[in-house]
Structure 1
Amino acid sequence: MQKTSDKILHAALTLMQDKGFQAVSIKEIAQQADVSEMTVFRHFKTKMGVFESAVEKFSYIPYFEEIFSNQIVWDLEKDLTLIAKSYFDSMNKNRAIFLIAIQERSDFPELNHVIVKNTMQLKNLIIAYFTSMQEKNQMKETNAEAQAIIFLTTLYGYFSSTSLWKDHFLHEWEESFLTNTIQLFCEALKK
């Protein structure tokens, strides 16, 4: 049986993705989740609280911390492929959160601030990886932060573009995009 808070989060994300953050009311979220408005307020206090809880619950940071701690093999091509595929898997699972933040970015910049926190944490994990690869003499000496930003921006750019298109584009091109992107990074960064 689904927990009440999970029902509320699912209902809110579905409604917000369809209608936008601003257009959805607590009353609609409660109706969609089949709970009272008071239950929504008791669990999350505000509509922004619902969104922030969804971002926290579905954060990809614990997932990536585990990958960087236990799955990295210190081979640039294999590791970047793992990171990129994991990024796309995570972003695809959380597409609703991303689309809500994009739709409402001008009216509710605080939505983006919630998302940026996760992105900064992932960027720092990649910087640490690139720095370690340089220390292990497995990668050219370069600005690790700049390379992490370029890598993340490339992945994010592809994901955001294809998220706004029809789903079949994402699956049709993703493997080719990943292969070519990783190949370019490895050619540029390997010693």
Structure 2
Amino acid sequence: MDKTGLKIINATMNLIMEKGYPLTTTKEIANRAGVNESTVFRKFGSKKDIVLNAMELREWNPDLAADDFKVYSLDLKKDLLKFSHTYLNKVTPKFVKVSLGLRCPELYEYTKDGIMQVPMVFKKGLTDYFCEMYKRGKINSSDHESLAVMFLSLNFGFVFFKASFDDMLTSLLKETYIQNSVNIFVNGIKK
């Protein structure tokens, strides 16, 4: 991607975070990127195409991968701390704001698979992990999917609150939250 294309993508995604996809115009995108509106169309063709290109870039995609959850120590607390750190370092409030902006009806058909990839990767990695921990007698629940969804919710809930309210709801720091939530979760499921 060339410099002009990146400027257009960044302008578009920042505007979407600020005002949503439907209210973001190509004229505003051009103004924010410092280019002519015709350059926007020449580079991308449409506002939707800008978004789809952005979703492929690391800046606008948390890049959560199955490999993030394949290496673990079999120490429940240590592993869940690692998984939380990985998730909350990659799935930032910025990403959540973008993700919410990409759910509008006129765009969602094109973005839903990309948006769903992140929680699905986390859920699958956690489900596999909890299955392994159950087989080894380290946890007491055989409902691995429910455990995975609960742990995903603990992490997503925190980043969602930060994205939505910044520190107005809680000034709890990410690290404090990770430590406390993992401790409580581990105490509830360990054997």
Deviation sequence 1:59-112 (CA, Å, 0-9, x none): 334x44332234x222111111111112111122xx334224435646557177
> Counterpart in 1 of 2:108?
110
Percentage of identical aligned residues: 26
> Counterpart in 2 of 1:53?
53
Matched letter for residue 179 of structure 1:
Q
Give the structure-2-normalised TM-score.
0.80
> Which structure has greater helix proportion?
1
Distance, in Å, in 2 between the alignment partners of 1:50 and 1:167 is 31
Work out whether residues 127 and 148 of structure 2, in 8 Å CA contact, stay in contact via their aligned partners in 1. Answer: yes
Comparing 104-113 with 130-139, greater Cα deviation is found at 104-113
> Counterpart in 2 of 1:135?
135
Comparing 142-151 with 40-49, greater Cα deviation is found at 40-49
Distance, in Å, in 2 between the alignment partners of 1:6 and 1:74 is 42
Change (3 A) 1:128 1:36: farther
Structure 1 residues not aligned, in runs of 5+: none
Distance, in Å, in 1 between the alignment partners of 2:34 and 2:14 is 14
Q: What is the aligned residue count?
A: 187
Structure 2 residues not aligned, in runs of 5+: none
Residue 187 of structure 1, CA deviation: 1.2
Equivalent of residue 97 in structure 2, options 89, 96, 99: 99
Residue 9 of structure 1, CA deviation: 1.8
Q: How does 1:56-95 map onto structure 2 within 5 Å?
A: 56-58=56-58, 59-61=61-63, 63-70=64-71, 72-92=72-92, 95=93
1:183 counterpart SS class: helix
Give the structure-1-normalised TM-score.
0.80
1:5 counterpart SS class: helix
Deviation sequence 1:111-161 (CA, Å, 0-9, x none): 772412321222112111211222233322421111111111121112111
Q: How does 1:14-53 map onto structure 2 within 5 Å?
A: 14-53=14-53
Give the CA RMSD over aligned residues: 2.9
Matched letter for residue 115 of structure 1:
I
Matched letter for residue 188 of structure 1:
G
Deviation sequence 1:3-55 (CA, Å, 0-9, x none): 33322221111122222211111232233223344543454443223223323
Change (3 A) 1:44 1:179: same
